[in-house]
Structure 1
Amino acid sequence: MRPGKQTLLTVVLPSIVLIPAIALILNRLMSATTAPSSTRSAIVVGSGLAGLSAASQLIAHNVPVHLLERAAKPGGNSIKASSGINGAPTRFQTTQDSLFYEDTVRSAGNAFKDSKMRECRQKLVTTLTNTSESAVYWLNDEKGVDLSRVGQLGGHSLPRTHRGAGKLPPGAAIVTTLLKSLQQSPLFHLHTGSLVTKVLKSAESVEGVEYSEGDETKTLHGAVVFASGGFAGDSKGMLAEYRPDLAGFPSTNEAIPGSQKLLTAVGAQLLDMELVQVHPTGFVDPKNVGALVKFLAAEILRGEGGLLLLNGKRFVNEMETRQHITDVILSTPPVDTSPQQWDIQLVLDEGAYNALSSHVDFYIFKGLMRKATVSELDPSGVALPSIQEYAKAAAGLASDPFSRKTFGSWVLKEVKPDSIVYVGRVTPVVHFTMGGVLISQDAEVLDADGKPIKGLWAAGEITGGLHGDNRLGGSSLLECAVFGRIAGDQAAAFARSYH
């Protein structure tokens, strides 16, 4: 690696799709793919963490895998995940944690009041939370991904979101590690630029997929695992169909159509399609204010002490759920209408910066955050009293007026006009779709009668029923690892029994 690229890698992090050093790693992994095997294979659609987890389990069972990715490079949205992966209880936590299930159900809100689907939802959440410890250990101990640091995100009762101590964010560290591991196996075949256009189904079971690669239409036969993500960027398609009120919002997702209808065509049941998460903090790039696709301001920025200001004043408990914070922001008028966005300031002190220097340095590098004094942040002087009030609460000298209880790594006690802060403008952004195809605890795709569709599994954001009204930060990577591994195990058993 050239010195210049090595230096960039040590500086940077979250949206590493744009980082040359990571692109180089992915290019090397892709160039090493082997020719397809004639052995009966399994097919995984999507190369984010859910797909890679499924592929890893299939390979562990000696089942050949064809992984189809429609983008030019693998990794999906998982490679951009920057806050971490939930797990409880783990040896990395300093406090006993038995509240993960309760926090997840509480975050899911009204969805759990639906008696018809409650049992199904409870089973999914139970599987997610009960398997979270082993998922973290699988990545940390077996795959070698450092997840030893633990932070607390909004909506969580305790710190349980794991990340590493290195320069790479957890999503990038996990994805590149799994890709490298998979690429060492002759059973693994990666196809990029391959768009699945049809699921092949006989009277008895799913038999494979049809896909386009350039100008060619091809088919693959075998057990099928779908891990192709959600539709949060599909503003003119599925998002417009299910949530037309959000079509004018910016998004953290590229404008890629959702894949759910490929599965409904073979009988899959959809659930919660109208439940779309609007994340409260997507960066507004001062160089391109009107951009429709935004970088996410990682939730760990608030978890480690970041506060939010509207017109120079705090207005919410920053450790509340994403839905609550977003609702408070949306109750105020936007400052821009195309796209619809707000002018919220995200502010960190030196303590929060030191805990997240690789994150913040990257955002500064991209022009999304800046180092400033309090007086530069707000020359009118409105912000200083609000920040001072927050600092007193963080120091335990006063109760927080918004009932915030945890303040991460914030250390600033006496706020002055020349106090150093790190600041960026943020706005609510369409981020995640909680709805999708309904699956069982075994990641089987279920039909309208709640029965498994033989030969078909799904994991990750393409599924519905798990998160309800609001997804907790850190549970996206977790559901990918948990249900991706389950799907891989189940598909392997099916593939090996096929005659």
Structure 2
Amino acid sequence: MYNNHNNARSTNDPVPVIIVGSGLAGLSAAYTALQSGATSVYMFERAAKPGGNSIKASSGINGATTGDDAFFADTIRSAGKRLAETASSEAKVQREHLIKILTERSPQAIGFLSDLGVDLSVVTQLGGHSRARTHRGAGKTPPGVAIVSTLLEKLKTEFGKGKFRLLTGCEVTKLLTTTHSDGAVAVTGVEYKTEAAGVEMLRGPVVFATGGFAGDTHGLLSRYRPDLSGLPSTNEPRPGGHDVLTAVGARLVDMDSVQIHPTGFVDPQNPGARLKFLAAEMLRGEGGILLHEGKRFVNELETRERVSEVIMKLPEAKEEGVLKQWDVRLLLDPGAAKAAEGHISFYVWKGLLKKLKVKDLAETTQKTLREYAEVVSGREGKVDGMGRRAFGHWSLGVKEWDDEAEVCVGRITPIVHFTMGGVAINDHAQVLASELGQEQKPIQGLWAAGEITGAIHGDNRLGGSSLLECVVFGRISGERAALAARDGHG
């Protein structure tokens, strides 16, 4: 049975902006839409609570400073062959244009969040970056929680229930459309369902921000990357929303480009769990190192793709049954642990990190730490044989050796973390019904932002750019959808 939500308003009432997904992309779109004059925003979230995967983000959000042209270059390099070997020169131009928007608008993204009251005062360097540009707060609250909770509170207090309506437990199952005389399809609203009311409809321009498909093990992941189905994931096991978009003609790009994050915690109490906590990349950025059988084996600040590749060439662990896992240790000395104190206390509380004294470590590990300390301190002109150039806040042995010093150690393994593929969009965040490199054909009334989109990250996403992507393209989509709603479209 259908219930038309629009029955609650007459045809002369203002058109609302409809946002599907309550992660950072959706929240950024909602706030910007209301800032831009939208009379109301309806946000649909299929889960019981808002926040999506954004609320789990633990390393921070990238923001370039004035004159940081290297951010664009770092992102281009990280995109790898997917960008460099793009078949069409026009498609390559389109990809690079999206990357330029992402990087050039990063200072404004940081400013947007800071103006809302989010603390982003700590800046660190993550893997694949040529300099420090990833922002997080100085307190104990992880950046994802801090950003999402601040935006939610601002939406509720600044605009109130009459303008911002968050509907949890509501799944959008279909996009409503109309077909123009030239055959082009335009989106006019959504069909959604709830347990209480059944199937309902709402008319208005739509921003799709439902995230990726890294947790859709038996659905989109097995369809596009069946080789990864045996890996654990940081994402909840839920279906991707991509098929809803392709049903109205949206084009998908890079769907086989899936990011494996090199460091997911293996819980010693439940090592075979498929859903795992992320060992934040900032743990390595602040000085943490990776060990296999007590020895370093990789530059910990290489790209996620590279570090994962090196780990997965090591022998697999066999004790977890059907899961593909590895036996690698993440170790933070006192300096690195203090710099990441907010994260460390949580991981220790969860039992994912254990505190040990240096004297209680295996002899091979102690030898590795002494050698590494000499590199960090630059004694005797030593350089890092792994190519690491930034050592965060590592302090052990830099001035003097301390056998009583306490280090933090946890087991990690590569995990399915992020999907770079998704719907093709243009610089206005409109969803395209055309292939990259062809004449762009935007689907009227439909925008997308965040992990649901493709073509921005290529082979590999830089740490800190997922939250940035959500803010930059979320704000673009929210502004554009608000203009469409004001003009009565939808």
* Fold shared by both chains (TM-score > 0.5): yes
- Report the CA distance between 1:415 and its aligned residue: 4.9
TM-score of the aligned structures, taking structure 1 as reference length: 0.90
Of residues 407, 414, 417, the one that matches 1:431 is 417
Of residues 466, 483, 487, the one that matches 1:493 is 483
In structure 2, what residue type is equivalent to 1:175? V
* Kept after mapping to 2: 8 A contact 1:434/1:468: yes
Structure 1 position 443 matched with structure 2 position 429: yes
- Report the CA distance between 1:399 and its aligned residue: 0.4
Query: How many corresponding residue pairs?
Result: 457
**SS at 2:42 equivalent:** strand
Structure 1 position 110 matched with structure 2 position 81: yes
Question: Paired residue for 1:31?
Answer: none
Counterparts of 1:354 and 1:327 in 2: how far apart (Å)?
A: 29
After the TM superposition, which residues 225-374 of structure 1 pair with which residues of structure 2 at under 5 Å, given as runs?
Answer: 225-336=207-318, 337-374=321-358
CA-atom RMSD in angstroms: 1.4
TM-score of the aligned structures, taking structure 2 as reference length: 0.91
* Kept after mapping to 2: 8 A contact 1:281/1:427: yes
- Report the CA distance between 1:375 and its aligned residue: 4.1
Counterparts of 1:309 and 1:253 in 2: how far apart (Å)?
A: 25
* Kept after mapping to 1: 8 A contact 2:396/2:402: no
Question: Paired residue for 2:143?
Answer: 170
**SS at 2:474 equivalent:** helix
* Kept after mapping to 1: 8 A contact 2:298/2:386: yes
* Kept after mapping to 2: 8 A contact 1:304/1:410: yes
Question: Paired residue for 2:455?
Answer: 465
Structure 1 position 56 matched with structure 2 position 46: no
Of residues 197, 201, 211, the one that matches 1:219 is 201
Counterparts of 1:444 and 1:376 in 2: how far apart (Å)?
A: 57
Question: Paired residue for 2:5?
Answer: none
In structure 2, what residue type is equivalent to 1:471? R
Question: Paired residue for 1:132?
Answer: 106
- Report the CA distance between 1:149 and its aligned residue: 1.0
Structure 2 residue ranges without an equivalent (≥5): 1-7, 181-185
* Kept after mapping to 2: 8 A contact 1:83/1:170: yes
Structure 1 position 206 matched with structure 2 position 192: no
Structure 1 position 156 matched with structure 2 position 137: no
* Kept after mapping to 2: 8 A contact 1:62/1:187: no
Counterparts of 1:262 and 1:424 in 2: how far apart (Å)?
A: 40
Of residues 368, 383, 389, the one that matches 1:405 is 389
Counterparts of 1:401 and 1:350 in 2: how far apart (Å)?
A: 23
- Report the CA distance between 1:61 and its aligned residue: 2.2
- Report the CA distance between 1:416 and its aligned residue: 5.6
* Kept after mapping to 1: 8 A contact 2:14/2:488: no
Question: Paired residue for 2:170?
Answer: 194
**SS at 1:463 equivalent:** coil
Higher relative contact order, structure no. (Cα contacts within 8 Å, ≥ 6 residues apart):
2
Counterparts of 1:203 and 1:392 in 2: how far apart (Å)?
A: 68
Counterparts of 1:453 and 1:301 in 2: how far apart (Å)?
A: 42
- Report the CA distance between 1:331 and its aligned residue: 0.9
Identity in percent: 55
Counterparts of 1:475 and 1:382 in 2: how far apart (Å)?
A: 36
- Report the CA distance between 1:115 and its aligned residue: 3.8
Write out per-residue CA displacement over residues 166-195 of structure 1, whole angstroms, 9 at most, x where no aligned residue.
221111111001001111213100000001
**SS at 2:479 equivalent:** helix
**SS at 2:179 equivalent:** coil
In structure 2, what residue type is equivalent to 1:209? V
Counterparts of 1:387 and 1:333 in 2: how far apart (Å)?
A: 23
Structure 1 runs of 4+ aligned residues shifted over 2 Å read 36-39, 374-378, 414-419
